[in-house]
DNA sequence: TATGAATGAGGATTCATTCAT
DNA sequence: TATGAATGAATCCTCATTCAT
């Protein structure tokens, strides 16, 4: 008996990602995925319990890829603001360099297809960032708000910025990005 | 001859709104809307060209309702920061008091079903706010960023806050809201 | 109380004819006719019992128009062959000059929507021609076949010729037409 | 894995043929076909791209069946007139013995659902006959007309004859058929 | 007469999923 | 593991026709 072919699973996920970004989440169908992956519809069900499961796994995989890209180059011995700066910079670059992943995440973020388990796992990947907020609040560097609010204060404008970048309505220059990050920091930092 | 029944159109839109917030945009179907509106599927097509048209019109109607609620009580003779405070307060309250509308807008904001014409019309409803940003930048009160970024800097965290409110994870007290708005202002104001 | 507006009936029939020739009989719908005639769907039902009735009446009207065009200029004092020549020439010219009517008749000829009453009425319009065949057989000028066969022997190749003409695969010159008619005559004439 | 069931495809085509001849092409629907074939509507789409494709394939299959029946027993060493006689006799018999196929072809011949590719393929099946016309013209046996006209000169009256036969308005006796074929030959033969 | 609204039934097609191999 | 066939349910939408005015 053969092992599950990881390449095949990978391939299915990759095709799904592309289909979602090109045709929209609501136009995604299992048979389209099958066709795009050069695989039988039935095969997809070997790797994924159902469509919902597939999408949730794709979400997790994408978030994981992003999290790796964001956190691995951070120097945790540096001060908090500098860590923040590095992380957010990485975040912006990841989304600028991976348009497919960016478009996918944008579409899926508020979708009801993401189940709570998935959302929890996803949050855990970004616990580093949440810790940073918690510590920042303890050290009286950051405003004493709910960490989710502090988090949005950064993620939303940066995502918006990247969207403008992909629409070529914004340059994406280091200066611009620096300014953006400063703005975000100001929003969460204690005055 | 019979006249178009405005109640019927209203009813269809209302049912759609409810269905979207309870079952999700991707589970919305014309026959479900028909059933919920106690109307034949064919009747919907008298009032709306197709499903896309219906959703776009629902979006516009909702945005219009919101815009009215937000802008009508603003005192434009007051200074810019105070105007901002009033608008954002109204915005938060509208979304707290109209959970259905809030949930709908959250789901639809990044959806590809919204056509450019609709987005343009929607933007025009909020031109007041954009003018405020423009003026603020001219008066050197606000940071010199793209207005869409300044806008996101406010809308994203407030929407996030309202989400937490509906999940009963924040209080929604006047103090909390005041703090939130201050945080938003700090993010966009020149130091 | 107003009279039925004959122009309106005429207009509905005309629109139907055009719709059938441009979009095909199977794509004809009452609402399309209504739209094309600038009339309410309900209005059509004042003039026609139903869709079938409309089509049958359109068929009769078209056949009548054709029959008038074909038979009025025939000189019945002339000999049988000359009468035949005139009639067939008129038939060909009518179909060359009225492409819409030609295309309509082609589409409808073998359709089951034509009821027997309509077919009978239509046949009666062309009784002149059938008489000609009967007389011809009596006078031993024509072959002693069923008149319907003799009739087809003429109508089919001439219709085919006109089809080629409208497809611009045939000239439509008087000589060509003369040859065609000779061929038809040879097919039915006693040797 | 399962193989495509040729019987199923055959069955779908057969059901379609019957439905068309009994209820008319315009009353044909995919769900009716599904029901008549004891198959899910979705299954039809495994074998045919869509309704149009199904009809076109049914047309080709029917024409093929006819072409086989017409041409296989012809003795091509015999003279042209004799070949013609054999072919036309076969043609008439095929249509007399296969009423369903006959009625189907009559309905579909001038229908716009037949695409040009199908018509081309169909023509190629009958190239034998066209060659015969071409050779006949070269040998000065046949009139020098467009082969499509010569062809119609035979097919139309024979089809009409068969129609009368099925309506029992004509005997179908060998003598009648012989006379009919003579009439057709006279129409195309050089005098 | 004339009409726009209204509709249940049905149109073609695709869906997510399972079956049989 | 892998698959193409198979499917009932669902999709959006249009139909011919009638209603109420």
Instruction: Round to whole Å and give the CA distance between C53 and D114.
Output: 27
Please report, for chain A, the start and end positions of each structural domain, with discontinuous segments joined by +.
1-48, 60-188
The answer to whether the CB atoms of D149 and C184 lie below 8 A apart is: no
Segment A137-146, tens digit of pLDDT: 999 999 998 8
**pLDDT, mean over chain A:** 93
Q: At what angle do helices A99-108 and A6-23 cross, to 10 degrees?
A: 70
Q: Can you give the pLDDT at residue D1?
A: 59
Three-class SS state of A189: strand
Q: List all residues of chain A from 106 to 145 with a beta carbon under 8 Å from chain B.
A: 106-107, 109-113, 143, 145
Pair of tokens at residue A95: 């989304």
Helices (H) and strands (E) in chain D, counts: 10, 0
**In whole angstroms, what separates CA A70 from the centre of its chain?**
10
D-chain CB neighbours of C148 within 8 Å are 160, 164
Query: Does the structure show a pLDDT above 60 at C119?
Result: yes
β partners of residue D85: none
Please give, rounded to a whole number of angstroms, the shortest distance from the CA of B51 to a CA of chain A.
13
Architecture of the domain defined by B1-48: Orthogonal Bundle (1.10)
- With CB atoms and an 8 Å threshold, state whether C186 touches D183: no
pLDDT, tens digit, 9 for 90 and up, residues D65-89 = 999 999 999 999 999 999 999 999 9
Bases of chain F below 7 A from a protein C-beta are: 1-21
Give partners of A (≥3 CB pairs < 8 A). Answer: B
Give, rounded to a whole angstrom, the gap between the first and last alpha carbons of chain B: 65
- Asked whether residue A159 carries a pLDDT value surpassing 90, the answer given is yes
Q: pLDDT grade, residue C110 (50/70/90)?
A: confident
The pLDDT of residue B68 is above 60: yes
Residue C4 confidence (pLDDT)? 62
Whether CB of C40 is under 7 Å from strand E: the answer is yes
Q: What is the pLDDT of residues D2-15, one digit of tens each?
A: 667 778 999 999 99
- pLDDT at position D5 is 73
pLDDT tens by residue, B17-57: 999 999 999 999 999 999 999 999 999 999 999 999 999 99
Q: Which residue is nearest to nucleotide F7 (CA to C1')?
A: D40
Q: Are A85 and A27 in contact (CB under 8 A)?
A: no
Residue A5 has pLDDT above 80, yes or no: no
CA nearest to B25, candidates A16, A61, A56, A27: A27
Asked if A148 and B156 come within 8 Å (Cβ–Cβ), the reply is no
D143 contact residues in C (CB cutoff 8 A): 179, 183
Instruction: Answer for the pair D166, D99: CB distance below 8 angstroms, yes or no.
Output: yes
Sorting pLDDT into bands at 50, 70 and 90, what band is A156? confident
In CATH terms, the fold of domain B59-188 is Tetracycline Repressor; domain 2 (1.10.357)
Cβ–Cβ < 8 Å for A58, A16: yes
Q: How far apart are CA C148 and CA D94, in angstroms?
A: 21
Q: Kindly tell me whether chain A and chain B come into contact, counting contact as 3+ Cβ pairs under 8 Å.
A: yes
Size of interface A-B (CB pairs under 8 A): 94
Tell me the chain A residues in contact with residue B156 when contact means C-beta distances shorter than 8 Å: 152-153, 155-157, 160
Whole-angstrom distance, CA of residue B48 vs CA of residue B54: 5
Contact check, Cβ <8 Å, A161/B170: no
- Please name the residue whose C-alpha is nearest to the C1' of nucleotide E2: C43
**Burial environment of residue D175 by CB neighbours within 10 A (0 to 12, 13 to 18, 19 or more):** exposed
CATH top class, domain D60-188: mainly alpha
Q: Confirm if C136 and C80 have CB atoms less than 8 A apart.
A: yes
Best to test chain C binding among D28, D153, D168, D179 (most C CBs inside 10 Å): D153
Residues 20-39 of C with CB under 7 A from strand E: 39
Do D129 and D113 meet the contact criterion of CB atoms below 8 Å apart? no
Q: Which pLDDT score is estimated for B3?
A: 67
Does A125 have pLDDT greater than 70? yes
**Which range has highest mean pLDDT (A172-181, D45-54, D166-175)?**
D45-54
Residue A6 has pLDDT above 80, yes or no: no
> Cβ contacts (< 8 Å) between A119 and chain B: which residues?
none
Given a cut of 60, whether residue C1 has pLDDT beyond it is: no
A158 CA from E8 C1′ (Å):
51
């Amino acid at each position: 008996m053969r092992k599950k072919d990881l390449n095949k699973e990978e391939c299915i996920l990759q095709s799904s990602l592309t289909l979602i970004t090109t045709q929209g989440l609501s136009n995604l169908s299992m048979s389209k995925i099958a066709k795009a992956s050069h695989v039988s519809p039935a095969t997809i069900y070997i790797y994924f319990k159902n469509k919902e499961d597939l999408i949730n796994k794709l979400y997790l995989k994408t978030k994981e890829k992003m999290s790796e890209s964001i956190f691995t180059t951070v120097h945790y011995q540096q001060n908090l603001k500098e860590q923040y700066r590095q992380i957010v910079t990485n975040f912006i670059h990841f989304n600028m360099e991976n348009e497919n992943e960016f478009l996918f995440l944008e579409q899926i973020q508020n979708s009801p297809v993401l189940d709570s388990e998935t959302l929890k796992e996803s949050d855990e990947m970004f616990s580093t960032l949440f810790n940073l907020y918690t510590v920042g609040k303890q050290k009286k560097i950051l405003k004493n708000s709910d960490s989710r609010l502090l988090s949005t204060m950064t993620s939303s404008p940066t995502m918006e910025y990247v969207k403008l970048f992909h629409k070529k309505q914004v340059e994406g220059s280091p200066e611009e990005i620096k300014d953006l990050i400063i703005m975000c920091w100001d929003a969460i930092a204690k005055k």
